[in-house]
Copies of this chain bind each other. A is one copy, B any other.
Amino acid sequence: MSELPLRRTDKRSLITEAAIEVFAEKGFRNARVSDVAKRAGVADGTIYLYFKNKEDILLSIFEEKMDLLLATLGERLKDIPSPEERIRQFARFHFEQVRDNRAAAEVLQVELRLSNKFLKEYRPEKLWAYLGVFAQLVKDGQEKGIFRAEIDPFVAMWSFFGALDELAMQWVLSRKNDRFSLESAADQVAGIFIRGMSEKA
């Protein structure tokens, strides 16, 4: 990510927030850098003092939101010992974030994937950290004899994320009226994975 200014200045987050809005509205490719600059109230060139290029803005949004997400997730799970309940909370948490930060979610869900670099070159370590929480939780459950030992945490992790992500995508893409309940979807998915991995159902 953009290493240029080490500290998060006020202006930098001004640009980030403007970019989330503009990218959500017009899409990353259709959004012009000058649109973001205008929305942020800075000159076009100023953006390049904080970001390497247009794509770097997108990737920075990802990094920053994932940092926040990761911290908030930790807070949410910290007093929950039961692996099953942790899974349920993880799913609910994920969908709450999607619902409460729709613009950011839309950018992350949809626009980020339109980025060649993200899909092909970028190593999303922050995402791995986020998902690592799930993988660890599976391992804990296995050690406690709650989850079956033959479950591969790697496969479980990506499956679980794929499921959450796909549902989030469908929700984001759906028109307001068609939107299904994210809350109950969270419990459904969590329920399937909890039972699906349990030693004795």
Contacts and interface: CB of A to CB of B under 8 A. Distances in A.
A178 to B, nearest CB: 11
Contacts of A191: 196
A105 interface: no
Number of copies: 4
B162 A166 contact: yes
A25 interface: no
A100 to B, nearest CB: 20
- Dominant secondary structure of chain A at its interface with chain B: helix
Nearest to A162: B166
Nearest to A198: B201
A196 to B, nearest CB: 3
A194 interface: yes
A135 to B, nearest CB: 13
A6 interface: no
Leading 7 A-B pairs by shortest Cβ distance: A201-B201, A162-B166, A196-B196, A192-B196, A159-B163, A162-B162, A162-B163
